[in-house]
Amino acid sequence: MDQQVKDMPLDSEKSTATAAEHFDVLIVGAGIAGIGSAYHLQQQNPETRFVVLEAQSDFGGTWHVHTYPGVRSDSDLYTFGYRFKPWDGAPVASGVEIKGYLREVIEDNGLDRHIRYHHKIVRAEWQSDAKRWTVTVNRSSDGAELVFSANFLWMCNGYYRHDGGYTPEWNGMADFKGRIVHPQQWPDDLDYEGKRVVVIGSGATAATLIPSLAPKTSHVTMLQRSPTYFIGARNVNELADLLRTFDIDPAWIHEIIRRQMLQMMRDFVGRATEDEDVVREELIAGVRAFLGEDYDIATHFTPRYRPWQQRIAFVPDGDLFKEISAGRASVETGEIECFTENGILMTSGAELAADIIVTATGFNFAPLSEIPVFVDGKAIDFSKTITYRGMMFTGVPNFFYVFGYFRASYTLRVDVLGDFVCRLLRHMDERGARVVEVELQPEERAKEPQQWVDVKDFSAGYLVRGAHLLPKRLDTEEWQHSQDYWTEVKKLPDVDLDGSAFHYS
């Protein structure tokens, strides 16, 4: 570690455009990934000087940005929580509870002194001669432009644009007299009491929002082009509740329930792959159990895709279905012809009257491309790089990216990569190396790079729209994001850091 670096004051807001503050590691983002990575770095490599730069005014990322009514996880918090911080609530948690959990992680570990809010990174440049990154930051609290330098960048910036969600363009939108709202920017003053609301979309966001809105509105319609899979179940974990009655250490309970959830997840994903038709029928039957035999399940709740080709939305206590059964919410399946003054006209000729239209239509995918990255003056186009296990990229030295799993809780990967990056940094210290780059062998260079993910395997809308932005993969385990927690958790600790993929200098 750089002695000169260690001696510098860690005084927030001190930097100026002329004097770059230097850190060993600069973590981008204080969401669930940035906070977890900061924790691991502090625990595992306590000598490392690091800073977390966050564009928003507060921590939480997704859980700070999304404030729509009812916002909650769709994973259980035993696995969506960190492995090191026990969760003691109901499995599915509200956005407020998740922020509370993250706040405790920050406070319990003194991470707040490392985080600087209102610091938006607008450019990052690697200089090979100096062997460091120079990072330009806009500080939104006073408009200052700051410069930081760091030996390593640890990108925990998530995968979507935080300043606005994705809304398709429909004809006639400007004619609509009511309000059009995207859940990612839910207005504090939105009065939906007694109003007719149409929610476009049927993913986890719509499934969350509708039961929360419905009791207050005159009616909510979930408008979908095609159906989605849901799992409705009680939001309890009986084993956790039982263990709690025995006065067992919460850390043990967390670990036991985590293993239970992971096993269940693994079995389910396995069955969904091997026994696709059986799982499809089970999922549909689960919805039928809530809505009854007379409900038109074939039209509204029978998806056209395979289970797990997209994330399956969990419906705690079947709340969405209960609102439909009670008649406060309904489902319309079909194509939108256009917006009208008073609502939406479907291609079927049906008209949906609305005072408010909510476009729960997803994210603007922005994995790495939003921050311009340069290496020795040359702009990096990440879609031209090849990824090492979905976390490092050819031609980009000293750079790590945390991108979670599609079919398992995102945070699982934060912990797994936290261990890996910390081990790699220690290894470099031991070797006396300052630069690490991943490199393809000649026979690997001859291979045809493929898209990061095969959209036939996982086809979430944001990925289909944004697949071209992502780095490429090869057909070997090393050179792709495996999407398999169970493989990674076993194999990453044993990866030979002196293997041929790594080049040190």
Ligand X SMILES: Cc1cc2nc3c(=O)[nH]c(=O)nc-3n(C[C@H](O)[C@H](O)[C@H](O)COP(=O)(O)OP(=O)(O)OC[C@H]3O[C@@H](n4cnc5c(N)ncnc54)[C@H](O)[C@@H]3O)c2cc1C
Which residues of this chain interact with ligand X, rule CB under 6 A?
28-34, 53-56, 61-62, 66, 71, 73-75, 80, 120-121, 156-158, 162, 205, 371, 402, 404, 409-410
Residue whose token pair is 């306590």: 46
Shortest spacing between CB 36 and ligand X, in angstroms? 8
Q: How far is the CB of 411 from ligand X (least distance, A)?
A: 7
Strand partners, 202: none
Residue at 319: amino acid letter: D
Q: Which is nearer to ligand X, 66 or 114 (CB)?
A: 66
Q: Which two tokens stand for residue 356?
A: 């408010």
Least separation in angstroms between residue 298's CB and ligand X is: 29
Min separation Cβ 34 and ligand X, Å: 6
Beta carbon of residue 186, minimum distance to ligand X (angstroms, whole number): 11
Radius of gyration of the chain (CA): 24
User: How many angstroms separate the CA atoms of 328 and 464, rounded?
Assistant: 33
Closest CA to 269 of 320, 229, 299: 229
> Closest approach of Cβ 410 to ligand X, in Å?
3
Q: How far is CA 416 from CA 44, 412, 419, in A?
A: 13, 6, 5
Which CB atom, from 290 or from 314, has the smaller least distance to ligand X?
Answer: 314
* 8 A C-beta contact, residue 394 and residue 441: no
CB of 152 to ligand X, least distance (A): 16
Identify which of residues 166 and 301 has a Cβ nearer to ligand X in the complex.
Answer: 166
State the Cα–Cα distance between residues 212 and 3, nearest whole angstrom: 54
The smaller minimum CB distance to ligand X, of residues 73 and 336, is found at 73
Taking the complex as a whole, how short is the minimal distance between the CB of residue 124 and ligand X, in angstroms? Answer: 9
Q: How far is the CB of 460 from ligand X (least distance, A)?
A: 11
| β-pairing verdict for 219-224 and 196-200 | parallel
Q: Which residue has the tokens 């928003």?
A: 56
CB of 137 to ligand X, least distance (A): 7
Q: Which is nearer to ligand X, 52 or 344 (CB)?
A: 52
Residue number with CB closer to ligand X (25 or 336): 25
Query: Which CB atom, from 311 or from 447, has the smaller least distance to ligand X?
Result: 311
d(CA 459, CA 450): 16
Report the half-sphere exposure of 325 (CA within 13 A, side-chain side).
13
Q: Which residue shows structure tokens 């706040």? A: 103
Q: How far is CA 373 from the centre of its chain?
A: 21
Cα–Cα dist 195/356, whole Å = 7
User: Using alpha carbons only, what angle is made at residue 247 by residues 243 and 249, rounded to the nearest 5 degrees?
Assistant: 85
**Start-to-end C-alpha separation, the chain:** 15
Output 394 or 411, the one with its CB closest to ligand X.
411
**Judged by CB, which is closer to ligand X: 99, or 447?**
99
Give the integer Cα–Cα distance in Å for 505 and 437. Answer: 9
Which residue lies nearer to ligand X by CB, 145 or 249? 145
CB of 153 to ligand X, least distance (A): 11
| 172 phi-psi bin (left φ>0, alpha ψ -120 to 50, beta other) | left
- Beta strands 196-200 and 313-316 are unpaired
- Nearer to ligand X by Cβ, of 344 and 409: the residue is 409
Distance, in Å, from the CA atom of 466 to the CA atom of 449, rounded to the nearest integer, reads 17
Residue tagged 């990866």 (tokens): 495
Q: 367: number of CA atoms within 13 Å, CB side?
A: 22
Least distance CB 366 / ligand X (angstroms): 8
Residue (262 or 291) nearer to ligand X, CB: 262
Which residues partner with 171 through β-bridges? none
Written as six digits, the tokens of 44 are 């595992």
